[in-house]
Amino acid sequence: MLLKELFNKRMQFYVNKKGGADMHLYLGPKETEQINSTFHIGNFQYKFILESTIDNRFIFNEELLEYQDQVIESRSGHDESILMSSSDERVQKFFHFISKWTHYHFHDTCEKALIRRQHSIRDYENLRSDGRNLAAFLFHLKNSDKDRYDLIRDTTQIVAPFFNDFVLRPKLQSNGDEMIELE
């Protein structure tokens, strides 16, 4: 959510609502001094470094957007992203692309959660925000875009080193429908 609010020039509002900058830093500012992120998307590279202030806000130590290795925008010391207010056509193109990103965080993983239930294997076009079709989505990727599937699996392994792979087994129902669930 922080990233979405950052791109929509509502980062300070979001940070304050969630208890201030220090609440977003792992073990607080003594342990984690900044949030550092870099995105490579096509010919674009976007980088930002957020640091907490004495009054528990974030400011940009650096915000940088490059296109084909040339700096388009670069600033520091501001408290909201420069992307939305730039008149540069390339910046607007990048901003338009990232503004369509969707944040997925599947909180409910209890036994009866939708993410753990059987779901139609044909529902894979768009990942649903509640995760109910995650198994179908992953199964489709595994069979049609192995590189993306492997990236998702490998990223999951970074967070959970004990994780080997998703267990995705379609099951044919008596009515002919094919269902799938995460096991």
Tell me: do 30 and 91 sit in the same domain: yes
Q: Does position 20 have pLDDT exceeding 90, yes or no?
A: yes
Residue 63 CB-density burial (10 A; 0-12 exposed, 13-18 middle, 19+ buried) = buried
* Domain C-terminal end among 98, 123, 152: 98
* Domain C-terminal end among 98, 129, 162: 98
Query: Is 70 contained in some domain?
Result: yes
Contact 79, 59 (CB under 8 A): yes
* Domain C-terminal end among 44, 64, 98: 98
Query: For the segment 124-160, what is each residue's pLDDT rounded down to a tens digit?
Result: 998 888 889 999 999 999 999 999 999 999 999 998 9
pTM given for the model? 0.66
Q: Residue 6: give the domain boundaries.
A: 2-98
Query: Is 121 contained in some domain?
Result: yes
Tell me: do 123 and 172 sit in the same domain: yes
Per the structure, the count of domains in the chain is 2
Average pLDDT rounded to a whole number, residues 81-85: 84
pLDDT of residue 56: 94
Query: Is 108 contained in some domain?
Result: no
Query: Is 134 contained in some domain?
Result: yes
Helices (H), the chain: 2-7, 11-17, 89-98, 134-144, 146-159
Tell me: do 19 and 75 sit in the same domain: yes
Tell me: do 10 and 91 sit in the same domain: yes
Query: Is 107 contained in some domain?
Result: no
